Amino acid sequence: MRHYETLDYDKFYHIYNHGVGNRDLFSEPDNYEYFLSLWDKYISSIAVTYAWVLMKNHFHALVKIKNESEITPDRVLNPVRGGNIPSKQFSNLFNAYAQAFNKRIGSHGALFERPFGRKLVDNEYYLKRVILYIHNNPVHHGFCSHPIEYPWCSYLSCISIKPTKLHREAVIGWFDGEANFKTMHNGKLDIESIEGWLDI
């Protein structure tokens, strides 16, 4: 079931999308890197990112939409007037990536499902659960045995000291420190119960 809620300012959301008809979104490393560059280009002006994962045919991210005063038409690409700027920026991201991806593989037509999925995250319990869910997605789908082994997710950025635009200090703080962050990611996660809550 898809969620049609407007993206409200100053709210946390789990954002996700799939390839339409189960189409692959990424077929080679350059695709993942290009999507991330577009994410920075379109989304960093309207939202703060706390966690993300890119899978072959879908992706997940935890973001907080910025305050309305921070999101002005002069700060975003292709601004929309009279509409919901955050939602439009996500649409712009998907359209830009789909055009480039289709051109790269010599295909055409829709790439992402519409509308994109979004779920309001309104308490700290689910905030942490969504982060664990996002980072454990590659484990759940059999790509690795631990998130540290998967290159296209934010787990490594959270435990690294390298510069990043990810707001890892906040993430580590929600888990009461890096040690507990790692411990929680080592435990078994009830993926199905989280997916039930997310309706995905």
pLDDT in tens, 59-114: 999 999 999 888 866 656 555 555 688 999 999 999 999 999 999 988 888 999 98
What pLDDT does residue 198 have?
66
What pLDDT does residue 191 have?
72
How far apart are alpha carbons 63 and 5 in whole angstroms? 15
* Domain parsing of the chain, residue ranges: 12-198
What pLDDT does residue 89 have?
94
Average pLDDT value over all residues in the chain: 89
How far apart are alpha carbons 13 and 24 in whole angstroms? 24
What pLDDT does residue 22 have?
83
Can you tell me the mean pLDDT for 12-16? 96
Query: Which pTM was predicted?
Result: 0.90
pLDDT in tens, 17-49: 999 998 999 999 999 999 999 999 999 999 999
For residue 184 the two structure tokens come to 């929680």
pLDDT in tens, 128-182: 999 999 999 999 999 999 999 999 999 999 999 888 989 999 999 999 999 999 9
What pLDDT does residue 70 have?
87
What pLDDT does residue 173 have?
96
HEC-encoded secondary structure of the chain: CCCCCCCCCCCEEEEEEEEHHHCCCCCCHHHHHHHHHHHHHHHCCCEEEEEEEECCCEEEEEEEECCHHHCCHHHCCCCCCCCCHHHHHHHHHHHHHHHHHHHHHCCCCCCECCCCEEEEECCHHHHHHHHHHHHHHHHHCCCCCCHHHCCCECHHHHHCCCCCCCCHHHHHHHCCCHHHHHHHHHCCCCHHHHHHHHCC
Instruction: Tell how far CA 131 is from the center of its chain.
Output: 10
Order the strands of the 117-121 sheet from edge to edge.
47-54, 58-65, 12-18, 117-121
Which CATH code fits 12-198? Answer: 3.30.70.1290
What pLDDT does residue 83 have?
67
Is residue 9 over pLDDT 60? yes
